[in-house]
Structure 1
Amino acid sequence: MRIELIVATYNSPGPLRLCLASVAAQRLQPDSICIADDGSGPETAAAIAEIAAARPVPPIRHVWHEDRGFEKGAILNRAIATSEADFLVFIDGDVLIHPGFIARHVAMARPDRFSSGSLIRLDAEATAAVTVEDVVSGRVFERAWLRRMRAIDRFGTWLKTMPFPEPVMALLDRATPVQRAWCGANASAFRAALLAVNGFDETMKYGGGDKELGVRLANSGVPGQHLRYTAPLVHLEHPRGYADPEHKRANKERVRAERRSGLVWTPHGIEKRARAS
């Protein structure tokens, strides 16, 4: 089984460097890395080229399109369409993944399931304080460090720091009542399952596009399973100038409607066509 890590990014070369440093520290490395770039400028391309030259294994490919506003779904579709891997793990370029992150996603890989995790969020002040050494050493995943950075704000967040042995945390994954929705910053699926639903709906802008994909996967017979407490990652804070409250409201209603209708295929995905009868 070939594994590819797909990293979505946009004009954030600093966080992307930290993210890829956490990838380099994985106990299980992917066979390849795809940077799905939603129109970044030359600084991001230069950072990717520098990292790829310094660490040629696993190989990094850079998939880019012109900046036309928030079109994350479109660039992820291009990444999926051009991938040669069987199993795809998705993160954002502003997250730091635990050393066991990819291994856990792979251990839970099933053709009839997608996996989805969650985030431990840093505020802007804590984000500015993160160094490469914090990432490489694993300090950013230590409870003491996260507590100092004000990231452990509730019991559920504390559980995401994996305070108990993995079998216990895995049991909590299965028991959690939280909806099994696709989380774009922490998700995985077999490529064939994503192709069967035609990938992301590119008409969905920020706020709901990830969940919409998860609903269509579930409708197709590929429901979600939680890695909420066994595949943690730390999210770096950033501005969201592209967020539109009206789009988010409309997208939520669309997701609810698709859950009721059983929709599987989008004509606005990897292939721009209605589903063949």
Structure 2
Amino acid sequence: MKTELIITTYNSPRALNLVLCALQAQTRLPDRIAVADDGSGPETKAVLEKHQPRLPLRHVWHPDTGFGKNEILNKAIASSAADLLIFIDGDCLASAGFIARHIELARPNSFSTGSVVRLNAETSERLNEEDITSKRVFDPQWLSRNGNIKGLSDRLKAGSAPRPLAKFLDKISPVRITWSGGNASTSRAQLIKVNGFDESMRYGGEDKELGSRLLNAGVQGQFLRYSAPLLHIDHPRGYVDPEIVKTNRAKIEDTRKTRRIWADLGLDRHLSA
């Protein structure tokens, strides 16, 4: 089974550099790592060149024409030669066993999805490469001392539970299963089956809409909330538009009600290119 990690990014070279530093500590690397770049400038390209000798990177880029995350994701999926695709955002730090856990859970007719521990603004601002390479950023006690653990759920999602317990908690989690774009995986074949991401949608729940179509198509969702820790670097979100978020929520609800499977503006546009 060939595997590929797809990382989305847009003009965030500092965060992307830290994300790629974390990937170098993986117990198991994917066969390829695609950076799905929604039109970043030369600083991002320089970060990729820095890490190219140590990571199996490829750069999937298109010009900046506004929010085009779903389009660049579809382009990365279309151009991938992998069987299993794993997704994180370019502001998410993967713990050492993250890729291995996604591969361990991979099944032909399923998708895996998890969550993140959100770093506060102060920790995110101070974070540096040494925090990553030393792995202290993934230490629940370090996270707690720096104000990033807000309760038992955060502590467990940060990896404090022994592995057997973490796997058990994944299975009994009462949270509704949806595709969380910052921590998810499924086969490329399943994404082709539902026509990938809906490119008509802008920021705000667009990943959940894909998850609803996968579920509608009979793809089974499974959690790795506690067994694959992932940290989210805090950053401003000036691009959030409440009206677009409202429209997206309505579309997600419609997808669930109508049992829609296919994205009208989706992956097939790029498969034939």
Q: TM-score, normalised by structure 1?
A: 0.95
Q: CA deviation at 1:164?
A: 2.3
Q: Deviations over 1:220-240 (max 9, x none)?
A: 111311100011111001111
Q: Could you tell me how far apart the structure 1 residues matched to 2:153 and 2:141 are? A: 16
Shift of the alpha carbon at 1:251? 0.8
Asked if structure 2 preserves the Cα contact closer than 8 Å seen for 1:28 and 1:102, the reply is yes
Partner of 1:120: 117
The 1-side partners of 2:103 and 2:141 are apart by 28
Supply the AA of the counterpart residue of 1:32: R
**Which residue in the other structure is 2:126 paired with?**
129
Where does structure 1 lack aligned partners over 5 or more consecutive residues? none
Task: Give 2:228's aligned residue.
Answer: 231
- Give 2:177's match in structure 1, choosing from 176, 180, 199: 180
> Is the CA contact 2:140–2:159 (under 8 Å) kept in the aligned structure 1?
no
User: How many residues of Structure 1 are paired with residues of Structure 2 in the alignment?
Assistant: 270
* Correspondence for 1:43: 43
Question: Residue 17 of structure 2 aligns to which amino acid in structure 1?
Answer: R
Q: Tell whether the 8 Å contact from 1:7 to 1:33 is kept in structure 2 after alignment.
A: yes
- Determine the structure 2 residue equivalent to 1:249: 246
Deviation >6 Å, runs of 4+: none
Q: Determine the C-alpha separation between the residues in 2 that align with 1:122 and 1:41.
A: 26
Aligned to 2:215: 218
Report if the CA contact (8 A) 1:214-1:223 is conserved: no
2:14 maps to 1:6: no
Q: Secondary structure at the match of 1:188?
A: strand
Distance in 1 of aligned mates of 2:107 and 2:202: 28
Q: Residue type matched to 2:140 in 1? A: R
**Contact 2:71/2:197 (<8 A) preserved:** yes
Q: Which whole-Å deviations, capped at 9, do the CAs of 1:52-73 have from their partners, x for residues lacking one?
A: 1x32xx4211000111111110
| CA RMSD, 1 decimal | 1.1
Paired residue for 2:268? 271
Measure the CA separation in 1 of the matches of 2:161 and 2:78: 39
Q: Any conservation in 2 of the 1:198–1:266 contact (CA below 8 Å)?
A: yes
CA distance in 2, matches of 1:205, 1:221: 25
Deviation at 1:111, TM superposition (A): 1.3
Aligned 8 A contact 1:33 1:61 in 2: yes
Counterpart of 1:60? 57
- In 1: Cα distance, 2:262 partner to 2:57 partner: 30
Query: Who is 2:34 aligned against?
Result: 34
Aligned residue type for 1:216: R
SS in 2 for 1:158: helix
TM-score after normalising by structure 2: 0.96
Question: Which residue of the other structure, out of 156, 159, 183, is the alignment partner of 2:156?
Answer: 159
Asked whether the equivalents of residues 158 and 230 of structure 2 are also in contact (C-alpha less than 8 Å), the reply is no
- Following superposition, the deviation at residue 272 of structure 1 comes to 4.1
Unaligned residue ranges in structure 2 (runs of 5+) = none
Query: Is the contact made by 1:80 and 1:191 (CA closer than 8 Å) also made in structure 2?
Result: yes
1:96 matches 2:93: yes
Q: Helix, strand or coil: the match of 2:268?
A: coil
Tell me the distance in 1 between the aligned counterparts of 2:237 and 2:161: 34
Aligned-pair identity in percent equals: 51
